[in-house]
Chains A and B, each alone.
Chain A
Amino acid sequence: MTRKISVKRKLHSAVIKALMYISAALTLSCIVFIIVCVAVRGVGNISADLLLSSPSYISDKIGILPDILNTVYIIIATLIIVLPLGVGAAVYLTEYAKSKRIARIIEYTAQTLSGIPSVIFGLVGMLLFCDFFGMKTSLIAGALTLVIMNLPTVMQTTRESLKSVPQSYREGAFALGAGKWRVIRTVVLPCCVDGIVTGCILCVGRIIGESAALLFTAGFAHKVNGMIDGLTSPGATLTVALYVYAKEEGEFGIAYAIAAILIILTSLINLCASLITGRKKG
């Protein structure tokens, strides 16, 4: 006895299905539109001259070499500081923390930290590092602000992979008479290099894309500096440079070129991260 499905139910199903297809198509078309738009307007403007020179008012040209260098400096400085802190915190949580209470407090604060908008980080970074510690507007102040922002990311990814290290490895090493630190250093940490690298890559992605937190902490200067000078003086990263060129100076060609570079970089980073996590699963 087969009963037919009523017209109303069929219609309902069809409408929902149509809505699903429309939503998926809409999402995909947004992404395609953004990529195509940036590619069409930006890629043509990327040239060796743009990449390898600094802006000059005399010859009235714009180059983004200083911005690229500043981005690299700020990434290096941030990673150097955030890695030990984030990995250390993750090790503490998984290996040492005996009291559940403290662990929960740390977890909760890390979660809170990852929800705070970047403009607030920028403001507090400005008050704390630039004014209170007297660093002025400089790349290092920006990097320290980014350290606070990225701490939860490194902690989270490291923790995930620390959790996946089998307990028997640790027990084996303890049974051989190794101390806790030795076990962590020689057995546990080498097993979770994958997670730490993923954390780093995600951090780099976030640093490249960050703008609001850097506007007040790292400033807008476009000057080619060495690493040490660069960190103590103000400088614009690629995103800040894009913002300034588009909003303040109306140089849309340059802005789209930077946007194209940023999208290429972030998609490469995405690819790396998914390759690493894919390898781990496989």
Chain B
Amino acid sequence: MTNESVNHAKSATVKIETKRKSARKAKGLCEKAIYAAFFLTGLTSALCVVLITVYLIASGTPAIREIGLTSFLFGKEWSPSSGEYGILPFILTSIYGTAGAVAIGVPVGFMCSLYLSKVAPHKIRTVIEGAVGLLSGIPSVVFGLIGMSVLVPAIRSFFGIPDGSGLFAAIIVLAVMILPSVIKVSLNALDAVPKEYEDASLALGATPIETYLRVSVPAARSGITASAVLGVGRAIGEATAVMMVSGNAANMPSIFQSVRFLTTAIASEMSYATGLGRQALFSIALILFIFIMIINATLNFFLGRSKK
């Protein structure tokens, strides 16, 4: 009898053991499946970037090969109807437009963030910061709309030219649009400067303004540069607002002339272009993508430095 009961107990424990084991196994399997699922979602963004890059290269290179790289990049004439596919006007317009917007937007944004970070009373800082937040949330079409119906007529009557839409209007609109990102990033950088630096400079007899310019700004240099680079990225990538104010003719850029940016060249013909013309648009997107990648790499470099 004792033997029997011992056997019985043994078999029971074995049963429980195997049950536990299988439960643990199932749990382990479950955990592994969940791990795999999270891993896959983690890879989505990498996959998207690869997909975008591959797609742009695959669809952008045939037209470049057909047209020829030099005549595509440096041709001054864009007229798909007569087989001319030179995008130099778009490239130059994008560069001039971005440079102009940055030349206006970055100094104003920088000075504004210096004021907010160091000089402004708390109440004023809260108000302006809130307003800047609001500005950054305004959709780009709204900027375009105001540019189109207020700025363009104002430029026309002020400078006495037949049409106000063109590079100048685009530069002003872009300058306003990059303001919030410039202000936010450089404000963060300036706020992070240790107070001891400034105190030491003040104790040595520098005036507050001298302290800010010679001590705080150099200390926040990387962050401020990053804000400027971010502004460049924003300005070069903007399409809708620019399309509404730049006139959209494929001219070589000049300040009051109707011009076309890289972005607007893509957007304006996409809906009806066919054949080689359509392929050439993908090539323009590829060129724009290369520009953006260079800007991104620069931005990451400066952001990484400002973190250290």
Contact = CB atoms under 8 A, between A and B. Distances in A.
Contacts of A28: 127-128, 131
Interface stretch (A17-25, A43-51, A72-80, A163-171): A17-25
A21 to B, nearest CB: 7
B209 A123 contact: no
Residue among A5, A209, A256 with the highest chain B CB neighbour number at 10 A: A209
B125 to A, nearest CB: 10
A133 interface: no
A259 interface: yes
Interface in A179-207: 179-181, 205
B134 interface: yes
A38 B45 contact: no
Contact of B115 (A20, A109, A263): A20
B295 A24 contact: no
B236 to A, nearest CB: 7
B138 A266 contact: yes
Interface size class of B (residues with CB under 8 A): 35 or more
A211 B207 contact: no
Interface in A1-55: 5, 9-10, 12-13, 16-17, 19-24, 26-28, 30-32, 34-35, 37-38, 41
A120 B49 contact: no
A92 B39 CA distance: 6
Contact of A239 (B38, B46, B139): B139
A77 B183 CA distance: 33
B263 A26 contact: no
Interface stretch (A61-69, A223-231, A240-248): A240-248
Contacts of A179: 27, 30-31
A265 B145 CA distance: 17
A106 B45 contact: yes
Nearest to A245: B145
A52 B238 CA distance: 32
A23 B148 contact: no
A179 to B, nearest CB: 6
A218 to B, nearest CB: 13
Interface stretch (B67-75, B81-89, B104-112, B189-197): B104-112
Interface in B195-233: 207-210, 213, 233
Contacts of B282: 123, 127
B209 A239 contact: no
Contacts of A16: 209, 213
B150 interface: yes
Contacts of A208: 139
Contacts of B131: 27-28, 31-32
A56 interface: no
A71 to B, nearest CB: 11
A126 to B, nearest CB: 8
B92 interface: no
Contacts of B285: 119-120, 123
B61 interface: no
Nearest to A219: B271
Residue in A105, A119, A209, A216 whose Cβ sees the most chain B Cβ within 10 Å: A119
Interface string B239-251: 1100110000000
B127 to A, nearest CB: 8
Contacts of B145: 242, 246, 252, 255-256, 259
Interface stretch (B7-15, B50-58, B252-260): B50-58
A17 B134 contact: no
A88 B41 CA distance: 6
A181 B34 contact: yes
27 contacts: A9-B207, A9-B210, A12-B210, A20-B114, A23-B111, A26-B112, A27-B131, A27-B183, A28-B127, A85-B44, A91-B41, A106-B43, A106-B45, A108-B300, A112-B49, A116-B237, A117-B238, A123-B266, A209-B138, A209-B139, A209-B140, A210-B139, A212-B263, A216-B270, A216-B271, A247-B244, A270-B134
Given A16-B209, A28-B127, A255-B145, 9 more contacts: A22-B111, A30-B179, A116-B292, A117-B236, A118-B239, A151-B48, A246-B149, A259-B141, A266-B139
